[in-house]
């Protein structure tokens, strides 16, 4: 494990990514405690203020919300939806892929055609259709995003499970009378954990991007709740007045967090590869 940590620490971009990620989480979660602002009632008297005016460090938006404070509460939604949707997608995909790969045969073929069909429908189109059917609350976004993005992990884990199922310890477990369910959950899935963890990182990054896309297209969480994508959607009408403070902060926040997750994922992959080589 310490060897893994050392390997991770050797990847400077991964370490930087982890630090940035930590800071952004702190900013979103604890920021509002240090910099309390009203993000529910509008204040039209102080709308569209530039940065610095009247104690608003990053100015205000068209409804008079303090922009820095809004960046924090929006970050909570973006990060929460991203992490939980990524986790949900990882869990569903892992179980689906492990079962398909372990059972094989017709079951595998049917399960993987379902995955193929799901991958054939681009997630963003499916999400827009679904958001016209269900009300896009935070909880609903997590479920819907999770349910459209489990397909890639399912493919990856199936490929792993296909090789794991022929290993001696799986054969031995079966010979000793372990049920199929036990074999899958106690032997197949734990032995794909490296792939699962690395993919989960990318899954969260993609979920954060997707939720930003949905909100930017105006089909995400509804006001007064907001996220970074929705802030950009609100800010776009002011781009022609040069109101950069409504555009750059939420946009850069998305880029930073997605980059950080990708770098961390790369670092984790180095760690997992090392373990694979040692085994």
Partner 1 sequence: MTTALPAAGGAADAAASPSARTARGGFGRYLLRRVLQSLVVILVVSVIVFALLHALPGGPARGVLGQQASPEQIAAFEAANGLDQPVVLQYLSFLGRTVTGDLGESYLLNQSVADAIGLRLPKTLLLTGLSLVVAVLLAVPIGVYQAVRRNRAVDYWLSALAIVAYSTPTFFLGMLLVLLLSQTAGLLPAAAPQGSGVAEVLAQPAGLVLPVLTGAVPIVATFSRYTRSATLDNLAEDYVRTARAKGTVYRRVVLRHVLRNSLTPVVAMLGYHLPVMFGGALVVEQLFNYPGMGLLFWSAAQSSDFPVLLGCVLVISVATVVGSLLADLVQALLDPRTRGGLR
Residues that bind partner 1 (CB under 8 A): 13, 113-114, 116-126, 128-133, 148-149, 151-152, 155-156, 159, 199, 202-203, 205-206, 209-210, 212-213, 216-219, 229, 232, 236, 239-240, 242, 244, 247, 251, 254-255, 258-259, 262-263, 265-266, 269
Cβ proximity to partner 1: between 7 and 37 the closer is 7
Look at residues 202, 212, 195 and name the one whose alpha carbon lies nearest to residue 271. Answer: 195
C-alpha–C-alpha distance, residues 101 and 180, integer Å:
12
End-to-end CA distance of the chain: 14
At closest approach, how far in Å is the CB of 76 from partner 1? 19
Cβ proximity to partner 1: between 177 and 242 the closer is 242
161-177 per-residue burial string, b: 16 or more CB within 10 A, e: under 16: bbebbeeeebeebeeee
Cβ proximity to partner 1: between 95 and 217 the closer is 217
At closest approach, how far in Å is the CB of 257 from partner 1? 8
At closest approach, how far in Å is the CB of 44 from partner 1? 25
C-alpha–C-alpha distance, residues 236 and 221, integer Å:
17
Look at residues 48, 42, 53, 96 and name the one whose alpha carbon lies nearest to residue 226. Answer: 42
Look at residues 212, 84, 189 and name the one whose alpha carbon lies nearest to residue 142. Answer: 84
If phi > 0 it is left, if psi is from -120 to 50 it is alpha, else beta; for residue 179 that is beta
Cβ proximity to partner 1: between 37 and 245 the closer is 245
Residue 151, H or E segment = helix 151-164
At closest approach, how far in Å is the CB of 113 from partner 1? 5
At closest approach, how far in Å is the CB of 211 from partner 1? 10
- Residue 67, judged by CB atoms within 10 A of its CB (0-12, 13-18, 19+), counts as buried
- Is 211:141 a contact under the CB 8 Å cutoff? yes
Cβ proximity to partner 1: between 32 and 194 the closer is 194
Look at residues 69, 70, 276 and name the one whose alpha carbon lies nearest to residue 191. Answer: 276
- Residue 95, judged by CB atoms within 10 A of its CB (0-12, 13-18, 19+), counts as middle
Cβ proximity to partner 1: between 68 and 210 the closer is 210
At closest approach, how far in Å is the CB of 125 from partner 1? 5
At closest approach, how far in Å is the CB of 179 from partner 1? 28
Cβ proximity to partner 1: between 37 and 99 the closer is 99
Cβ proximity to partner 1: between 84 and 258 the closer is 258
At closest approach, how far in Å is the CB of 198 from partner 1? 8
């Amino acid at each position: 494990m310490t060897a893994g940590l050392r390997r991770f620490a050797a990847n400077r971009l991964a370490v930087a990514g982890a630090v940035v990620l930590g800071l952004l989480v702190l900013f979103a979660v604890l920021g509002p405690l240090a910099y309390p602002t009203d993000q529910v009632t509008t204040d039209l008297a102080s709308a569209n203020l530039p940065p610095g005016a009247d104690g608003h460090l990053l100015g205000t938006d068209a409804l008079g919300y303090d922009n820095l404070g809004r960046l924090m509460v929006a970050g909570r939604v973006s990060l929460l939806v991203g992490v939980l949707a990524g986790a949900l997608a990882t869990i569903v995909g892992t179980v689906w892929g492990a079962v398909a790969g372990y059972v094989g045969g017709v079951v595998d073929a049917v399960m993987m055609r379902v995955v193929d069909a799901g991958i054939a429908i681009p997630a963003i189109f499916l999400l827009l259709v679904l958001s016209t059917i269900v009300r896009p609350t935070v909880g609903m976004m997590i479920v819907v995003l999770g349910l459209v993005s489990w397909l890639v992990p399912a493919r990856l884990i199936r490929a792993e499970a296909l090789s794991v199922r022929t290993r001696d310890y799986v054969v031995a477990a079966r010979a000793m009378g372990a049920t199929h369910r036990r074999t899958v959950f106690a032997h197949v899935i734990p032995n794909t954990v490296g792939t699962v963890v690395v993919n989960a990182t990318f899954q969260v990054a993609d979920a954060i991007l997707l939720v930003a896309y949905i909100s930017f297209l105006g089909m995400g969480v509804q006001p007064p709740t907001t996220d970074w994508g929705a802030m950009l959607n609100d800010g776009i009408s002011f781009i022609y007045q040069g109101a950069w403070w409504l555009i750059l902060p939420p946009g850069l926040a998305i880029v930073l967090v997605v980059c950080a997750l990708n770098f961390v994922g790369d670092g984790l992959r180095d760690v997992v590869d090392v373990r694979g080589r040692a085994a």
